[in-house]
Structure formats: C-alpha cells, structure tokens
Amino acid sequence: MYDYIKGIFTYKNALAKGCIATVETGGIGYLLEIMHRDYNLLTDENKNVTMYCALLHKEDKMSLCGFLKREDRDMFNILTSVSGVGSKMALALLDTFQVTDLVGFVLDEDYKSITCAKGVGQKLAQKIILELKGKLNSYKDLDIKPQIVSKEGFKDQNVEDAQMVLASLGYDNKEINSALEHALKTLEPSSSAEEILKKSLQILSV
C-alpha cells in the first residue's frame, strides 16, 4: 500500500518496545517503527527525509515500519514472510546485520552467525535459512540477465548470483542492469558475488 513517505522528520523516541519516528507530509504525521540503527542516523529534526515503508496489519491494530534504505525495507518484507519471524524479530536481524551479510549467511547456510541476533536461536536460524534460500533461489529463472554479464574477466556465475539477490530485494531489470554496470567498472575481475552485490547495493542506495 505504501512504498515510501517523503516529508519532514519531526520527532523520534526510543521506547522499551523499540524505536519510533514521525515524518510529516501533507499536514499528516506518520508514526513509524524504525530500527535502532536508523534511529541513530536521524539526527536533524525538521529536515527532509525519505522513509521506505512496510505496512503491518495485525488483528488489533495497523502500523507502519520505516527504513532509510530501500533494501532494508525489502529484506524486512522477505524476513517477515518466514513463519515465526515477526516485525520485532525482523528489525532485530536488520539491526544486527547488513543486508549483504544476512544474504551471505543464508546462501552459505551459516546459521551460527544468524544466532548472533538477539532472540534468534539455532532452530529459528535454520528455519530462516531454509525458507529464505528457497525464496532467493526462486529468482534464478527470472528474465533479468543484463547485457554486461559477459564482461571480460568476471565470472558469469558471480554476476548472476548478485542479480538473483537484487531481484529478490525488489529491484527491477533496469535498476539491476545499471547498478551492475557501474559496479563492475570499479571492481576487480576476481571479485566474489558478495563483493559485486555489496557494491551494487551501495550504488542503488544513493
């Protein structure tokens, strides 16, 4: 329902249950649940800000989660699609790990690293990997191959793996093509899929 809200950051507060921030646009103040990491980055009140949103619809209430980076919001949506992972757990995971690190743990089946997030035990970490890996791999058959996958010196598989994850995070074909093209110009041909992904996400987040 909501993709992003662009307006004036007016207020933030750290509560026992988590962090919140208010963004005003069109005379309406939207109250957003946010990560602690984004809470620390929101330092200038009455300044313009863009928050990427996820709408949460529970039996007793509706609420919005807001993120300064689109890839964090998209990963939040993927995480909350895992049974047993609610909004608080997803925010805790994203507060603990960067998106690229979390994706790397999933693809490498490294459940032990995921248990470093508060409240995540071994069984849940393994469940997250099982369900998320299936979701990420489901994008392999999408028609998202950019013209530059055969760039000399780079392994096609590394580029395609980076494409797959970018697609799973909601980026469209044009955005993926552009980000990869710029990323490969600045990276060494020996770069891993994770390095290509990380650079691409840096470009997309600007």
pLDDT of the residue at 140: 53
Q: Are residues 17 and 60 in the same domain?
A: yes
* Same domain for 59 and 11: yes
Its domain, for residue 101, covers 70-137
Low-confidence stretches of the chain (pLDDT beneath 70): 135-153, 206
Per-residue model confidence (pLDDT) at position 35: 95
* Domain membership flag for residue 83: yes
Dihedral sign, Cα of residue 33, residue 38, residue 41, residue 46: negative
∠ CA 199-203-204, rounded to 5°: 115
Give the model's pLDDT for residue 142.
52
- Amino acid at the residue 83: S
Q: What pLDDT, on the 0 to 100 scale, is given for residue 200?
A: 87
Instruction: Identify the domain boundary among 17, 38, 67.
Output: 67
Q: Which phi-psi region, left, alpha or beta, contains residue 46 (left: φ > 0; alpha: ψ -120 to 50)?
A: left
CA-to-CA separations, 90 to 61, 101, 143, in angstroms, rounded: 18, 14, 29
- Res 146: pLDDT: 47
CATH of the domain at 40: 2.40.50.140
Chosen domain end from 67, 84, 111:
67
Domain assignment of residue 88, yes or no:
yes
Predicted TM-score of the model (pTM): 0.78
Which pLDDT does position 192 carry in this prediction? 84
